[in-house]
Chain A
Amino acid sequence: MNKVKQKDLILYSGLIILGLAAPYLFSAFKVQLTYLCVLIVLAMTWNLQGGEMGYNTFGNILFYGLGMYLTASVQVGMFFPLAEWTESGGEKTFVHTTAQYFQGIGVGLLISAIVPAIIAGAIGYAILGLRGHYFAICTLGLGIAAGEIAGGIEIIGAGQGFTTPPFPAEIADTEARGKFFYFLSFALLVGTFVFVKYIYGSRFRLILNAIRDNEDKAEAMGIQTMKYKIVGWMCSAFFCGLAGGIMGGLIGYIDSTDVAFDGREMGVFMVLMAILGGKGTLWGPVIGATLFHFFKEGLWTLILGWQYVALGVLIVVIVVYFPEGLMGWLREKYPERFGEVIDEKDRKAQVELK
């Protein structure tokens, strides 16, 4: 056991060093790297429901969008009247000082983690009784409804969109903004990974798996499934909210349906990435998101106008050839590397039976 841990330690410290060095090594790619961190976080948190618990949610985008609006609103609202900031075509210009900017985003992020988690609890209490397709469709509706509602609330800019506070101009270094958001998202990624890894070693995961495999049996064994389902969703919402808050600041402009409650893109991507890498595994979503992001950034612009066709083909290929994702495919090919013991005699006996 200890030996394995030591090797893991080398791997993790290597990755962390790479992560910390990345913005200096690939200075021009900071924004893409930030996106990558956020995508991985979204895929990992989706995996908690979709992969571990067997509840295919399309609603996680709700928490992401909420986090985005909350962070920006708090960041502005702490120092200036929010209504005047977002007033369409506002005549006044407000400028955050450096200290105000960072205080605002700090408090904003805190709130954008807590509030979505609470909301996930409340919504979860109401709808986690639904199973299978019913749950999926219901959560799909949540994301769409949230986008439409946000598009009608004047104080957060309604259809005009919400311009988040610009990075303080007093900081002369033009790279500072990119670095700030990169490290913020990297910290979030590390935090999420540590948390999910912790869950993977806990009884909590086994309960989620039990719910996935047979919820009725799990209940019959005395597990209060509802409680665990809600807590699981709250955990996802916590990290999704943070991811949204960071993205809002990075993009600089929040649009209700295209940026915040972007179910059509981000909402689908997080599912796709988790499935591509292999749902129900620790590394699957990480690998899936990384591959997906590189596919998107690398090929997208080469096939202008056809990128969504290519994405469609990718989805078909994944579903047909890698239904269990890359990790699932590897596991099938090299089971021994995943620590599965194969009884050769037994396997042969089965083959002969056929």
Chain B
Amino acid sequence: MNKIAKLFVTFISAITLTLVSFTSSFAKVEGEYIVLGSAISLTGKYSSNGVHTQNGYNMAVDRINKMGGVEVQGKKYKFEIIYYDDESNPKRAAQLAERLIKQDGVHYMLGPYSSGLTKAIAPVTEKYKIPMVEANGASRSLFTKGYKYLFAVLSPANQYLEVAIDLAVEKNGGKGVKIAQAFEQDAFSQDVRLGILDAAKRTGSEIIIDDKLPKELNDMAATLAKVKAVKPDVLVVSGHTKGALTAIRQISEMKVDVPMLAMTHCDAAKLSKQHGKKSEFALCASQWHKNLSYKDKFFGSGKKYAKDFQKEFGYDPPYQSAESSAALLVFKDAFERANSFDRDAVRDALVDTEMQTFYGNIKFGPGGQNVAKPMILFQVRCKGDDCENRVVAPTKWASDKFYHPIPKWSDRS
């Protein structure tokens, strides 16, 4: 027995030595680099959106570094990001945040993808007083916890589809509508659901189907069968990229006729490319669209950003990438205004942020959410087999009229 024990002790001491040799901690600012940290979903159920987020971050880092970097106390610095893969798992994300802060010595964080993961990381950054600018955690409950070091460049999740209900009511002559809804069981989608509940109450609408969908969403036929039977005026679906893809696939397979279909994550799912005409008339909530008229000196306009992004990564940027790029612009701005690397000075500068980026205006409310930017809605429209997203609301940026109701499948060619 004690021979094994000896072996075990040897083993432990070997590990101890390795650990000690690994404890060479980085500094927050190394030479000419400002080191940011981020745990991103490179694998797991959020991997496609995780990559959109990472591409957005990288694009902005390259651009800012190329255009002179960040000037603090008369010296130019460049951004650098340490990435880890959180495997789309909150438990892992929290652990990695700790690792970034404690072992890699990161003093400024960029957010992960999805509300759930942001919820897991926020307590950690808050504990160590690390300012985190996040671009992909929209859940309202993130902004009611009194976090002081959390800043989100996006609008909260409950605002995503409220406008869609308003539109439906408007089309119904101001009377309440019948709503069928199905939401994935995750922090983000459940918050979108809350927004719909509020909108329903406000407009006197009735919710006739209220389903929960599993994570790793691949099938919602049961919900759709009910929709076919009870004929609601609006069908609302939210479940990240997979939710959007599954909904369109099964709606077209089952030929479900519904006058209005409202969703989230259509552009991240590249819906108009993947499903073409089947996805026509779907109404989607979006944080950003390239046709909006916001501007900044790094990326120019939204259209210019989309073009550059396309050149770099080979696909049209979804809003997840755009908002991620915007997070870096916010950090740069805050560092320069703070003119210091002191975490609290940077945090105070972040509080006072008031700027325009290609992605939209950014100004943080008391809870850390962006209060200066409205959500937009677009509708998938096709010319022949060529489909694209057209902005239909709010009217200020609408390039097209909202098409209502959706023609029946039997009338669609």
A338 contacts which chain B residues (CB < 8 A)? 1, 4
At the interface, yes or no: A251 with Cβ under 8 Å from chain B? yes
A161 contacts which chain B residues (CB < 8 A)? 90, 116, 119, 186-187
A255 to B187, CA, bound (A): 9
A287 to B14, CA, bound (A): 13
Size bin of chain A's contact surface? 35 or more
Partner of A89, one of B43, B128, B139: B139
At the interface, yes or no: A212 with Cβ under 8 Å from chain B? no
Q: Mark A228-270, 1 if CB is under 8 A from B, else 0.
A: 0000000000000000000100111101111100100100000
B43 contacts which chain A residues (CB < 8 A)? 305, 307-308
A282 to chain B, nearest CB (A): 9
At the interface, yes or no: A214 with Cβ under 8 Å from chain B? no
Partner of B15, one of A92, A258, A290: A290
Q: Mark B98-134, 1 if CB is under 8 A from A, else 0.
A: 1100110000000000001001100110111100000
Give residues of chain A (214-231) contacting chain B, Cβ–Cβ below 8 Å. none
At the interface, yes or no: A166 with Cβ under 8 Å from chain B? yes
Given contacts A89-B144, A89-B191, A287-B8, contact A255 B42 (CB under 8 A): no
Q: Mark A259-297, 1 if CB is under 8 A from B, else 0.
A: 100100100000000000000000100110010001000
Give residues of chain B (155-208) contacting chain A, Cβ–Cβ below 8 Å. 158, 183-187, 189-191, 194
Chain B residue at minimum C-beta to C-beta distance from A161: B187
Given contacts A148-B214, A256-B185, contact A89 B140 (CB under 8 A): yes
A108 to B315, CA, bound (A): 50
A14 to B184, CA, bound (A): 50
Specify which of A151, A250, A252 lies most central, judged by the most chain B CB atoms within 10 Å of its CB. Answer: A252
B139 contacts which chain A residues (CB < 8 A)? 89, 160
CB–CB A287/B103 < 8 A: no
CB–CB A252/B141 < 8 A: no
Chain B residue at minimum C-beta to C-beta distance from A92: B144
A257 to B124, CA, bound (A): 21
A258 contacts which chain B residues (CB < 8 A)? 88-91, 116, 215
CB–CB A88/B194 < 8 A: yes
Chain B residue at minimum C-beta to C-beta distance from A89: B140
A239 to B370, CA, bound (A): 44
At the interface, yes or no: A98 with Cβ under 8 Å from chain B? no
Given contacts A159-B185, A166-B126, contact A294 B85 (CB under 8 A): no
Partner of B141, one of A8, A31, A163, A259: A163
Partner of A28, one of B4, B25, B146: B25
CB–CB B116/A255 < 8 A: yes
CB–CB B15/A294 < 8 A: yes
CB–CB B103/A167 < 8 A: no
CB–CB A151/B103 < 8 A: no
CB–CB B2/A11 < 8 A: yes
Chain B interfacial residues counted at CB < 8 A: 61
At the interface, yes or no: B95 with Cβ under 8 Å from chain A? yes
Given contacts A159-B212, A160-B191, A255-B116, contact A8 B90 (CB under 8 A): no
At the interface, yes or no: A18 with Cβ under 8 Å from chain B? yes
CB–CB B127/A177 < 8 A: yes
B128 contacts which chain A residues (CB < 8 A)? 174
A90 to B194, CA, bound (A): 11
At the interface, yes or no: B33 with Cβ under 8 Å from chain A? no
Chain B residue at minimum C-beta to C-beta distance from A265: B89
Given contacts A91-B144, A255-B116, A256-B185, contact A26 B123 (CB under 8 A): no
B23 contacts which chain A residues (CB < 8 A)? 26, 28-29
A182 to chain B, nearest CB (A): 12
A-B CB contacts (within 8 Å), total count: 168
CB–CB A8/B126 < 8 A: no
At the interface, yes or no: A304 with Cβ under 8 Å from chain B? yes
At the interface, yes or no: A58 with Cβ under 8 Å from chain B? no
B11 contacts which chain A residues (CB < 8 A)? 287, 290
Given contacts A152-B185, A177-B127, A256-B185, contact A4 B141 (CB under 8 A): no
At the interface, yes or no: A330 with Cβ under 8 Å from chain B? yes
Give residues of chain A (144-185) contacting chain B, Cβ–Cβ below 8 Å. 148, 151-152, 158-161, 163, 166-167, 174, 177
At the interface, yes or no: B222 with Cβ under 8 Å from chain A? no
Partner of A7, one of B5, B7, B16: B5
A91 to B140, CA, bound (A): 9
B302 to chain A, nearest CB (A): 30
Partner of A31, one of B88, B95, B187, B191: B95
A48 to chain B, nearest CB (A): 20
CB–CB A257/B215 < 8 A: yes
Given contacts A88-B191, A89-B191, A307-B43, contact A163 B116 (CB under 8 A): no
Chain B residue at minimum C-beta to C-beta distance from A339: B1
B12 contacts which chain A residues (CB < 8 A)? 15, 18, 290
Q: Mark A85-128, 1 if CB is under 8 A from B, else 0.
A: 00011111100000000000000000000000000000000000
CB–CB A159/B2 < 8 A: no
A265 contacts which chain B residues (CB < 8 A)? 89, 91
Given contacts A89-B141, A93-B145, A158-B185, contact A337 B91 (CB under 8 A): no
Extra contacts besides A18-B16, A151-B212 (11): CB < 8 Å: A26-B19, A35-B95, A88-B140, A89-B194, A252-B94, A252-B123, A255-B116, A255-B187, A262-B91, A265-B91, A290-B15
Closest 8 CB pairs of A and B: A159-B185, A89-B140, A252-B123, A337-B3, A28-B102, A253-B120, A31-B98, A11-B5
